[in-house]
Amino acid sequence: MASDDVPEKIYPLGYEPQESPDASDPNVRNNLLDFILKSGPTEIVDTDLFAVMAKRRSTRKFSDNPVETIKIDKIIAAADTAPTAGNFQGFEIFYIKSPEKKKLLVEACNKQPYVDAPVVLIFCKNPSRVKFDFPDYILKKFAIQDATLAAGYSQLAAQALGLSSIWIGMFDEQKVMDIIKTDLVPSSVLCIGYPEQTKFPKSRRNLKDLVHVIW
């Protein structure tokens, strides 16, 4: 503890939010989260959710431009706003900074070269956080939904911040777990950066074919 009433701020080695509240009130649970969500960047960010959704397009070629720390903070904070089963937050985010580990991840992700992206986040399931008195398979089901939804929120946040991303689902779970040294099973790898080229969104099947109305 830094003093009697102000808790010391401790972040994972290599990750510290660019900005954090000066006076951290321990009674305000979402202090840092709210602060990051409300703070910069000062450049224009797309705040129209539907425009963000309409424009999003996966990118597999990223420019070398580094992603600003405040944007990474916001992408991570966005994940933390997603709903989770019972609000137990049955997922963890691994933020890969090591270039060597990114190279190993390319290999673990079926040799997909773009996994070596400026920002690589691995979303893992953590069913042990889901404290419902339900069978194990239900807790696992909740954890995969928690992790997937959180990654989806991050993906949209990245788009809103002028970035692009690729969702990686094709990977060897055990290899990824060995690389990041965890016993938590990954659900997705989200690779983010500035796109080399902005592309038009892909087409989808007709919306009316997607919806099945049950009376």
Ligand X SMILES: Cc1cc2nc3c(=O)[nH]c(=O)nc-3n(C[C@H](O)[C@H](O)[C@H](O)COP(=O)(O)O)c2cc1C
Binding mask 94-113 toward ligand X (x if CB under 6 A, else -) reads ------------------x-
Tell me whether the omega of the peptide bond preceding residue 26 falls within 30 degrees of 0, making it cis. no
Binding mask 110-129 toward ligand X (x if CB under 6 A, else -) reads --x-----------------
- Is position 141 an interface residue for ligand X (rule: CB under 6 A)? no
Distances (CA, A) of 119 to 32, 62, 78, 130, 140: 21, 10, 15, 28, 27
Its sign, for the CA torsion 140, 144, 147, 150, is negative
- Is position 29 an interface residue for ligand X (rule: CB under 6 A)? no
- Is position 154 an interface residue for ligand X (rule: CB under 6 A)? no
C-alpha closest to that of 121 among 195, 191, 44: 191
- Is position 196 an interface residue for ligand X (rule: CB under 6 A)? no
- Is position 202 an interface residue for ligand X (rule: CB under 6 A)? yes
Residues with Cβ within 8 Å of residue 108, at least 6 apart in sequence: 171, 172, 175, 176, 179
- Spatial contact of 179 and 101, defined as CB atoms under 8 Å apart: yes
Q: Cβ of residue 166: shortest distance to ligand X, in angstroms?
A: 5
Question: Using CB atoms, what's the residue nearest to ligand X?
Answer: 169
Interface of this chain with ligand X, residues 161 to 180, rule: CB under 6 A? 166-170
**Stretch in the footprint of ligand X (CB under 6 A) among 4-12, 21-29, 39-47, 53-61:** 53-61
Per the DSSP assignment, residues forming a β-bridge with 195 are 62
In the complex, the residues that contact ligand X under the rule CB under 6 A are 57-58, 60, 112, 166-170, 202
